Amino acid sequence: MIHRKSETRLCRSALLLVCASLLLMCVACRRDAELPVSTPAVTESKTKTEARDRYFDDVTDRVGIDFVHVAGGKPYFVPRSIGSGVALGDFNNDDLLDIYLIQNGGPDSEARNVMFQQRPDNTFVRCPSGFGADVAGFGMGAAAGDVNNDGKLDLAVSEFGAIRLFINVTVDSEIKFVESTSAANLANSNWGTSLAFFDYDRDGWLDLVVANYLDYDPSRICSAASGREDFCGPQSFDASFTRLFHNEGIQAGASAPRFKDVTATSGFGSKTGSGLGVLCADFNGDHWPDVFVANDGNPNTLWINQGDGTFQEKATRYGVAYNSVGEAEADMGVAFGDVNGDQRMDLFVTHRAVETHTLWASHGSEIFVDQTASSGITNSQWRGTGFGAAFGDFDNDGDLDLTFVNGRVLRAASHADDSESPVLFWDDYAQQDQLFVNDAGKFVDVSNDCGAISGDCKVSRGLACGDLNNDGRLDLVVTTIEGRAKILFGRNESESNWLSVRVMAGQLNRDAMGAVVRLTDKNGGVQVRLASPNYSFLSSNDLRVHFGLGDCDSFQKIEVTWLDGTIESFVGGKSNQFLTLTRGTGGIADDAN
């Protein structure tokens, strides 16, 4: 069955940025001291029209988001430098995305995680104190998923030294959660970072994977090359294990499922890594979801699902453990999508500024090739240390663009004094974020045309992507260390066509996490998307998959490959709408309407 919703649009006010303002902002961003290349600034030759933002509007104030991140602990307590993420989700089932933001102030801090509930006018209001997931801690990442199959999105949150599970008990649109960590038998005393729900054994109950970072000792003091104290790097500590928890289902009378730690028996305990980013997807086409972990300073790990509850680590064999010259880099954020239109999913990972972000292109089952140099990513207007990342068709022209957020992990050459305010302390780690547009399979850095993304300097970490205001344009939420969360609404002045699709699997794994959605447009072009919210860095994204359709005002068909490999076809229709595709209600595709 295809359920259609009417399109809604939010009027937008143009964001005009004059050249002088952009120039000052760029100069204010100190370049990385380790970077040997010069970085061009925005020139004053741009006209006022050229300087306007072509892609996004910063609507943070307009929509009512007033979240300010707090990083607790001593100045060089390393969890401060990792930051915190964000989760997008329709937590009260009103067809509007809400925003859950994580704090890092510590367990005794007054700074608590915040849920912003969206109202029909696309503004947001804080959920009142006591909504159930407003906890304090050294919070890191968040994942959203329906773990008890009751039709409501639940939340898992990773912390330095802990993990939390919140069961959604929302009634009558008022968002409410109950912490169920103990009841669910979940525990992780390690330093958890990114985490993701996925159904690795295809039993219909969402399991949980948690990337752990380092065996961190806060008493250790590290220094920069100058001899001055700075944050310790991953080489200063032992790496940790990625943990896997199996969802055992719900016992009679319980509201939360029970989880079992299967790290050892599944094989995940056989190899360590300093995990920061995590992605769950089928890398070899056998219809069993695998797990990629981006490791900081160690070879990446790719856990291939054997279909019997065990995994084998094969990152080197698949070509994603190292870059093209055999180096293990500082891997952080992860994005996954078909960037060259060959219907194979490619892998992108962010790194430090002294390295290059890496694009591994899929060349078929079990073969990924580093094609960073030919992709255009290295032809950037500046280099930053990247964290959160997302592929998305931000101009709705039919191919995937790329954005990622930046912020140093080591101080720049010019540094503030430790005793100065948090704003001044973090100013020496601040960088500009970036946007690349896909031009026939090659990326072009358009950051200087996007003041909303790149016009200021922050220590950015989390990035979530989704259509917040349901206007058919992808929006962004960016989190920063000791700074405000930023809300960016997509701008697409060309009025290109689009389609948003949600897939539903039925009573078990209701949101069909891991399904693959293929759309054939009216001209015969095919686009592929993975239905999964868990990518980027410390963040959870819109469950719906988004297609930009350019000048195609209709599509021929949609094919959904469900987790067990079954392919179901749904008839075509008009563009510019939201569809819900439910398993078992598809049919043979007819010509587009």
Residue 113, domain member (yes or no): yes
**Confidence label for 485 from pLDDT (cuts 50, 70 and 90):** very high
Specify the pTM: 0.91
Residues 537 and 455 in one domain: no
- pLDDT value of position 227: 87
**Confidence label for 507 from pLDDT (cuts 50, 70 and 90):** confident
Each residue of 295-348: pLDDT tens digit?
A: 999 999 999 999 999 999 999 999 999 999 999 999 999 999 999 999 999 999
Query: For the chain, give me the number of helices (H) and strands (E)?
Result: 9, 38
Q: Is the pLDDT of residue 205 over 50?
A: yes
Distance CA 179, CA 190 (A): 20
- pLDDT value of position 136: 98
- pLDDT value of position 20: 40
**Confidence label for 417 from pLDDT (cuts 50, 70 and 90):** low
Buried b (16+ CB within 10 A) or exposed e, 509-530: bbbbbbbbbbbbbbeebebbbb
- Is 166 within 8 Å of 110 (Cβ atoms)? no
Q: Is the pLDDT of residue 179 over 70?
A: yes
- Is 247 within 8 Å of 278 (Cβ atoms)? no
Name the percent of the chain lying above pLDDT 90.
Answer: 83
Residues 78 and 187 in one domain: yes
Q: Give the least confident one: 51-60, 131-140, 385-394, 450-459.
A: 51-60
Q: Which residues contact 100 (CB under 8 A, 6 or more apart)?
A: 86, 87, 88, 89, 91, 113, 114, 115, 116, 133, 142, 144, 155
End-of-domain residue from the set 463, 490, 517: 490
- Which domain does 539 fall in, by range? 497-582
Name the percent of the chain lying above pLDDT 70.
Answer: 88
Q: Give the least confident one: 199-208, 446-455, 584-593.
A: 584-593
Strand intervals (E) in 269-408 = 275-281, 290-295, 301-305, 311-313, 334-337, 346-349, 358-362, 368-370, 386-392, 401-406
Each residue of 509-554: pLDDT tens digit?
A: 999 999 999 999 999 999 999 999 999 999 999 999 999 999 999 9
Q: What is the CA radius of gyration of the chain?
A: 22
Q: What is the CATH number of the domain that holds 567?
A: 2.60.40.10
Residues 106 and 236 in one domain: yes
- pLDDT value of position 326: 94
Q: Is the pLDDT of residue 23 over 90?
A: no
Distance CA 321, CA 234 (A): 17
Each residue of 228-278: pLDDT tens digit?
A: 899 999 999 999 999 999 999 998 888 899 999 999 999 999 999 999 999
- pLDDT value of position 547: 99
Residues 566 and 442 in one domain: no
529: amino acid identity, one letter? R
Q: Which of 104, 205, 106, 97 is nearest to 148 (CA)?
A: 205
Q: What is the CATH number of the domain that holds 484?
A: 2.130.10.10
Residue 60, domain member (yes or no): yes
Average pLDDT score over residue span 556-561: 98
End-of-domain residue from the set 438, 462, 490: 490
Total of domains in the chain: 2
- pLDDT value of position 15: 36
Residue 590, domain member (yes or no): no
Helix (H), strand (E) at residue 567:
strand 567-574
Residues 266 and 356 in one domain: yes
